[in-house]
Amino acid sequence: MIDYLTLAIVLMGAAALLLPLLQLLKGRAALPGYVLAVVLAAAFVLIGAFTLSGPSPSSVPWGGSLLHPDQLGGIFALVTLGVTLAVTIVSFDFEKGPSNPVYYSLLAFTALGMVLLAYSQDLLMLFVSWELMSVPTYVLAGFSKTRQSNEASVKYAIIGAMSSAVILYAISLAYGLTGSTQISTVVSGFTSNPTALAGVATLLFVAGFGFKMSIVPFHMWIPDAYEGAPTTISTLLAAATKKAGFIAAIRVLLAITTLYTVTQNPVFTMANVFAVLALVTMTLGNVSALTQKSMTRLLAYSSIAQAGYMLIGFVAFSNAPGSAAATLGLTGTIFHVINHAMMKGVAFLAAALVLLQLKRADLGAYNGLGKRMPLTAFTLTVAFLGLAGVPPLSGFWSKLLLFLSVANGPYGWLALAGILNSAFSLGYYAWIIKRMYMDEGESTERVKEPFWSVIVFAIMVGLIIGIGLFPQQVVGFVSSAAASVAG
């Protein structure tokens, strides 16, 4: 009997390969989007059922040693699929040209790559999935065919190729040192023989995954790529492929760092490396966001800052593997990944709608938006307050778990830095909210807010508020996945 995960993968693969054939049908421009939305919704339900049923390694017989179908992979697969589904639905109002089938086919390939990456337990499988996810997004970033979009696509593709090369080199070093590409074997090999070359391989993995995770100093491509790409694709990059970078880092880096020190010098532990990266990433992201004049660039730098908060969990996990603080830190990271996907995803989609309807991306377009596009303005307000960690929204709880995980140890200063950065970020979020509700715009005429966009906004806002009010179930489920990694 075929299992749910296999069926979901087959559905997405078939959609990715067959959607371009719909170009042969005349007068059916909307059909590819509807087909992909149905496929992604079905895959979401199937993987959700598969994850809730408590999958075991034998659940996917064809996966062999390549896939590890656990709860952790299920959480990341559901997050990335949910974001891709939201992007697909909102794209109904954006992509109406003859290239529709290709656009949705590329989205399907990206979704398939992210799902396979979520479950990968072999480095080569991880790399193939990484490329299956990444290559379509290089094309999608330049899909609007403007000069700015083309420049963003080229820059993204070049730096992405460099990132892939770094990861592949790290994999080759790992294979040379251990004779295997199985992540568990590589970890045990590094543990039994902690050489300087193993330290180099570990840091190369940090650099390669750091590109997708958008951590400093591997973040320079993000503002240009997010601004130049169609805003729906910026949503995909910020809220989905970025999360795929985190699952790869959790699978590989945290497995290594629980047992490995970069050098014999106690200063150069991976916990210290992650602590410095977290501090610099959250601070630089927030300070840079404050100076932006474009909403897309502001959201891009804000996304960088959020990656810094997520790294706090890596610090707690690496500092005291197997402890309660380690489980709490990883729980906070995974929970914040879920929250960030919802909050940042809907913020980008709202910005995309403003650009579509008002033909402006500068912050001045948001003056008086509360009167012109009230549902969009409310959605942005909830998303911004959630990103800032204002209770009782869901972002508050994930940040609280992250800060508590390091509050009582040697990295208590990192918790203080996170709190100060969150307070600082509220300044520029509140500035945008003030523009929407208190400043006068050029016009007070109501602007149409498309049906499908409103549906996505309502679902996302409902989840942000609902999980914030009742976080226990989500925290419990995420905690069990984190405990399996910590164990």
Question: Is the bond leading into 20 cis (omega within 30 degrees of zero)?
Answer: no
Residue 229: is its pLDDT beyond 50? yes
Write the CA distances from 104 to 23, 44, 154, 168, integer angstroms: 11, 17, 21, 28
What's the CA gap between 236 and 157, in Å, rounded?
A: 16
Contacts of 60 (CB under 8 A, 6+ apart): 3, 5, 6, 67, 69, 119
Most confident residue range from 141-150, 225-234, 367-376: 367-376
What's the CA gap between 149 and 486, in Å, rounded?
A: 42
The predicted-structure confidence for 158-213, as pLDDT tens digits, reads as follows 888 998 999 999 999 999 988 888 888 888 888 777 778 888 888 888 888 888 88
Q: What confidence tier does 83 reach under pLDDT thresholds 50, 70, 90?
A: very high
- In this prediction, residue 188 carries a pLDDT of 82
Structure tokens at 244: 């795929």
Average pLDDT value for residue range 398-414: 91
- In this prediction, residue 28 carries a pLDDT of 67
The predicted-structure confidence for 299-331, as pLDDT tens digits, reads as follows 989 999 999 999 999 999 888 777 888 889 999
DSSP helix/strand/coil, 67? strand
The predicted-structure confidence for 5-62, as pLDDT tens digits, reads as follows 889 999 999 999 999 888 777 766 678 889 999 999 999 999 998 888 765 555 555 5
DSSP helix/strand/coil, 98? coil
Average pLDDT value for residue range 76-100: 86
Structure tokens at 69: 């179908």
The predicted-structure confidence for 331-372, as pLDDT tens digits, reads as follows 999 999 999 999 999 999 999 888 888 888 788 888 988 888
What's the CA gap between 209 and 166, in Å, rounded?
A: 9
Residue pair 13/112 in contact (Cβ under 8 Å)? The answer is yes
Which of the pair, 444 or 352, is modelled with greater confidence? 352
The predicted-structure confidence for 217-227, as pLDDT tens digits, reads as follows 887 788 888 88
To the nearest whole percent, how much of the chain has pLDDT over 70? Answer: 93
User: Which residue is listed with tokens 């694709």?
Assistant: 233
Which of the pair, 265 or 81, is modelled with greater confidence? 81
Average pLDDT value for residue range 402-429: 91
Written as one string, the DSSP assignment of 325-364 is HHHHHHHHHHHHHHHHHHHHHHHHHHHHHHHHHHS--BGG
The predicted-structure confidence for 246-293, as pLDDT tens digits, reads as follows 888 888 887 776 555 555 566 777 888 889 999 999 999 999 998 888
Residue pair 337/243 in contact (Cβ under 8 Å)? The answer is yes
Q: What confidence tier does 1 reach under pLDDT thresholds 50, 70, 90?
A: very low
Residue 64: is its pLDDT beyond 80? no
Entry pTM: 0.90
Mean pLDDT rounded to a whole number for the chain: 86
To the nearest whole percent, how much of the chain has pLDDT over 90? Answer: 40
